[in-house]
A and B are shown apart, each in its own frame.
Chain A
Amino acid sequence: MNAAARPSLLPGWWRRNRGWLAGSVLLGALAFYLPWRDSRAERARSTPSHRINADNTGWSDYEGSGWRIAGVEFEPGAGKAVADYPHAPGSLLLVHYQVTPGREATGKLLDRCRGRLVDAAGRRWPANEPYKLGRRLRDRGFNDSCGTRPGESFVRIEASPGQAFDFSHAFLLPAGTRPEGLRAEIFFPPSTTTPHGSYLSFPLPPSAR
């Protein structure tokens, strides 16, 4: 019998083996998907990665409390001798926040919050860093902690549920950087938020420009 006349075995082969073929495709897909999902979950536990866009005009809910930007000050050229080395004067940006703690929020829990400023190019400035910047902010009478502030006799005053509490974040920006397009962000340790890695991101209000 010549090859042309021989009936093709392939359709039958595919039919007979369709069970394990389908299983292999499924396992192959899972072999890629599961590590990717684990790595994504691990990243979410360690890095702020789930952005919650804040309402620029009112209060935004994040981790059971309400948050808003109460005011922004931009001071070009005021960032002198702030870094740990001699540098040309930069600009200072102060973001004044208010938080209304939820029922389960305590001052100590809120104090775990951190802040940063980001721009569209991905540059990041952690709040109140370098150290001298945080000190300068406190010297000007602003509170730099999200849930407590200094009180009398070294006893810290805690934010109370339902009552607005003020705190501020300061940032040192390179000379020439404008506030347009910057976003101020608040985040808790990523493994403690729901979902993991959630953070609150505010566009700077027009008053900063």
Chain B
Amino acid sequence: MSAAPRHLPIRWTLVTATLCALALIVLLRKHQPSYEEKVAPLTVAGTIGAPVTARNFEVTVKRLKLARAYRIDGRYSGDPSQVVRADGIWLSALLEATATREPGFLSAQLRTRDGRLYAASGGDRPKLDGVNLGETSLATGIPASGAYFFDVPEAGLEGASLQFYWGLGAPSGLDHLLDIDLGLDARALAELRDQAVPELDMRTRTDQ
């Protein structure tokens, strides 16, 4: 005589709870941020004229200037002056910057409305010692007054913002990225263009 087949009772509550848990897992995994999003820099918004503070630095952007070219000192004493022309147009951001906790480098980039990034020009273009803060090491607590220079296409200036971050290279993940609204609408840009000179004389020596 064969034994009657045994049926385990189905616990519908358990089945429903398991299915709900699985659905929740799928949903959460689908919407979880990517690794890049998890470690992205933390954006801090600011405006021109007001001090903005990040983890290790403070920046106050004072004003902007446009120029087609800069006339700068020759390399050595007695050398003729040089003209540094932009491929697009020179935008300079005059500012005061302070390293608040440790010394190091402050980097800047211009972000256009369409998301393109233009890194600030290096310390040797234009070579203006004490003015061009590109690749200049800031000492802790000693404010620096100077400028960052950007060689950018003129058409990309409207709506652009200025970004600052600590260190050389790309902005570090999970560190502050200051995003300064430059207020560059059509009218402000027209004013800047009116004030722009074809060749801005930045010479400091008189022997050329």
**Measuring CB to CB, which residues of chain A are less than 8 angstroms from any residue of chain B?**
82-88, 90, 122-126, 129-130, 172-174, 177
* Seed contacts A87-B144, A123-B102; 13 additional CB < 8 Å A-B pairs: A83-B137, A83-B138, A84-B136, A85-B136, A85-B146, A86-B145, A87-B142, A123-B100, A124-B102, A125-B103, A130-B103, A172-B139, A172-B142
Known: A83-B144, A123-B102. A130 touches B130 (CB 8 A): no
Q: Is the interface of A mostly helix, strand, loop or mixed?
A: loop
Task: Please tell me which one of the listed residues A86, A88, A126, A173 contacts residue B103 in the complex, with CB atoms under 8 A apart.
Answer: A126
- The B84-141 residues at the A interface (CB cut-off 8 A) are 100-103, 130, 133, 136-141
Does B167 interact with chain A (Cβ within 8 Å)? no
CB pair B101–A123 under 8 Å, yes or no, is yes
CB pair B101–A177 under 8 Å, yes or no, is no
CB pair B100–A83 under 8 Å, yes or no, is no
Residue of A85, A122, A129, A174 most packed against chain B (CB within 10 A)? A85
By a CB distance below 8 angstroms, the chain A residues around B100 are 123
Does B143 interact with chain A (Cβ within 8 Å)? yes
Bound: A85/B99 CA distance, A: 13
By a CB distance below 8 angstroms, the chain B residues around A177 are 141
CB pair A129–B103 under 8 Å, yes or no, is yes
CB pair A85–B103 under 8 Å, yes or no, is no
B23 to chain A, nearest CB (A): 24
CB pair B139–A124 under 8 Å, yes or no, is no
CB pair A122–B142 under 8 Å, yes or no, is no
Known: A123-B101, A124-B102, A129-B103. A84 touches B145 (CB 8 A): no
A157 to chain B, nearest CB (A): 30
By a CB distance below 8 angstroms, the chain A residues around B101 are 122-124
CB pair A123–B133 under 8 Å, yes or no, is no
By a CB distance below 8 angstroms, the chain B residues around A86 are 130, 144-145
By a CB distance below 8 angstroms, the chain A residues around B137 are 83-84, 130
Instruction: Name the residue on A nearest B141 (C-beta).
Output: A174
CB pair B140–A130 under 8 Å, yes or no, is no
Bound: A173/B141 CA distance, A: 7
Task: Please tell me which one of the listed residues B136, B140, B144, B145 contacts residue A123 in the complex, with CB atoms under 8 A apart.
Answer: B140
CB pair B102–A130 under 8 Å, yes or no, is no
Instruction: Name the residue on B nearest A82 (C-beta).
Output: B139
Bound: A173/B139 CA distance, A: 9
CB pair B140–A125 under 8 Å, yes or no, is yes
Bound: A84/B139 CA distance, A: 8
By a CB distance below 8 angstroms, the chain A residues around B139 are 82-84, 87, 90, 125, 129-130, 172
Instruction: Name the residue on A nearest B97 (C-beta).
Output: A85
Instruction: Name the residue on B nearest A174 (C-beta).
Output: B141
- 25 pairs across A/B with beta carbons < 8 Å? A83-B137, A83-B139, A84-B136, A84-B137, A84-B139, A85-B130, A85-B138, A86-B130, A86-B144, A86-B145, A87-B139, A87-B142, A87-B143, A88-B142, A123-B100, A123-B140, A123-B141, A124-B101, A124-B102, A124-B140, A125-B140, A129-B103, A173-B141, A174-B142, A177-B141
By a CB distance below 8 angstroms, the chain B residues around A172 are 139, 142
By a CB distance below 8 angstroms, the chain B residues around A83 are 137-139, 142, 144
By a CB distance below 8 angstroms, the chain A residues around B138 are 83, 85
Instruction: Name the residue on A nearest B123 (C-beta).
Output: A84
Bound: A126/B140 CA distance, A: 9
A200 to chain B, nearest CB (A): 19
A72 to chain B, nearest CB (A): 19
Bound: A129/B138 CA distance, A: 10
By a CB distance below 8 angstroms, the chain B residues around A174 are 140-142
